[in-house]
Amino acid sequence: MIKIDSLTKEFSIGEKKLTAVNDLSLEIQSGEIFGIIGYSGAGKSTFIRLLNRLETPSSGSVTIGDKQITTLSKKDLRNARQDIGMIFQHFNLLWSRTVQDNIAFPLEIAGVGKSERQKRVQELVDLVGLTGREKAYPSQLSGGQKQRVGIARALANRPNVLLCDEATSALDPETTNSILDLLVSINKKLGLTIVMITHEMHVIRKICDRVAVMEKGSIVEQGDVLEVFSHPKMPVTKKFVKQVMGDTDEDEAEMNQLFQNENNRNVLRLHFIGETTNQALISQLAKKFDIDLNILQGKITQTQRGAYGTLFVQLIGDQHEIDKAVQYIDEQTSVEMEVVENER
């Protein structure tokens, strides 16, 4: 477990003080993939550097396992860092070293013998999917391959925790997905605790179990990814969710125009969890009530904990039948309903 208690980091800029991380408390469970998301300037990167004490906190504590990182001596900190791997946005590879030599570097520093070092390097090369590229230099690799080297290097000393600082931000979408799939596989195979720092909600959606949202150095919202996605509370979280759902200004304009039509009555917004939930509900409504259903718009997205989505539907028919259908929907525990006609 990682336990952060009242963590604060202040920087002095001339006579002014900038608080990058502000009285932050958080617990991350062993073996989970935990996401920290926020926009530029939220304090994310400073926070993750505090976890392995690349930055020294102004106050507060970080405990990883049974070690309070913030109170360790320099010698003990060096030893503790062997249990904490880290990968970076821009890879931070040694350009004069080959793939296998980059991966071997932390083992050399740790004093691991040549034979054992070579064996471990080959295990990691195979694990991250770089078999056959052992003797290539970073300049000969794609962005995704460079990040795979970075991941292998971070795993060299068999850490219990892997910190990822914007690890996919420099990659294209297809490569990002392949790296995220690799991290999920590593998490399952090795039981690692992974902390993902990102400004991309897609990353959180795809692989994280829980998420914390940072703004101005503080955590403003946290919880299970599916819960945070389906019921965002803070404006910054709602903005992130809107982005990952693919909502655009064109979508908003289209819906505004739709609702300005006076014939569009009895329109409902349905929030559902589970891919088949909305399909089953629409089928049941059509069978149980003498009404027509017009699906105006719908979107669904996947998370590690399941699917969720929103569906706009219009009920057409006798008002008495419509009222019964609305009551039926309201009684369903797996679907949340809002009447949205004339709200725009």
In order of 140, 264, 315, 319, 320, the CA distances from 323 in angstroms are 65, 16, 10, 6, 5
What is the per-residue pLDDT for 63? 94
Contact (Cβ atoms closer than 8 angstroms) between residue 219 and residue 246: no
Cβ atoms of 229 and 197 closer than 8 Å? no
What is the structure's pLDDT at 262? 47
Taking the whole predicted model, whether its pTM rises above 0.85 is answered as no
Q: Which distant-in-sequence residues (6+ apart) come within 8 Å of 203 by Cβ?
A: 35, 37, 168, 176, 180, 196
Place of tokens 């891919």: 275
47 beta partners: none
Separation between Cα atoms, residue 6 and residue 8, nearest integer Å: 6
pLDDT at 259: 54
Element (H, E) at 327: helix 319-330
Could you give phi then psi for residue 103, rounded to 5 degrees?
Answer: -65, -35
Q: Looking at residue 343, what is its pLDDT?
A: 45
CA dihedral 146→149→150→156, nearest 10 degrees, is 180
Bridge partners, 291 (sequence order)? 317
Q: Which tens digits make up the pLDDT trace of 190-241?
A: 999 999 999 988 899 889 999 999 999 999 999 999 888 888 899 999 888 8
User: Residue 326, SS3?
Assistant: helix
Q: Which residues of the chain have pLDDT under 70?
A: 245-264, 274-279, 305, 341-344
120's tokens = 């471990």
Residue 196 and residue 34 in contact, taking contact as beta carbons nearer than 8 Å: yes
b/e burial code for range 159-186 (CB count within 10 A of at least 16 → b)? bbbbbbbbbbebbeeebbbebbebbbeb
The predicted pLDDT at position 344 comes to: 42
- What value does the CA radius of gyration of the chain take, rounded to a whole number of Å? 25
pLDDT score recorded for residue 235: 93
324 Cβ neighbours under 8 A, 6+ residues apart: 289
Question: Mind listing the domains of the chain with CATH numbers?
Answer: 2-244 (3.40.50.300), 258-339 (3.30.70.260)
* 159 alpha carbon, distance to own chain's centre: 21
DSSP, res 70 = G
In terms of Cα–Cα distance, which of 21, 62, 64 is closest to 44? Answer: 21
Neighbours of 248 (CB within 10 A): 11
Of the candidates 56, 33, 76, which has an alpha carbon nearest to the alpha carbon of residue 163?
33
CB atoms within 10 A of CB 68: 14
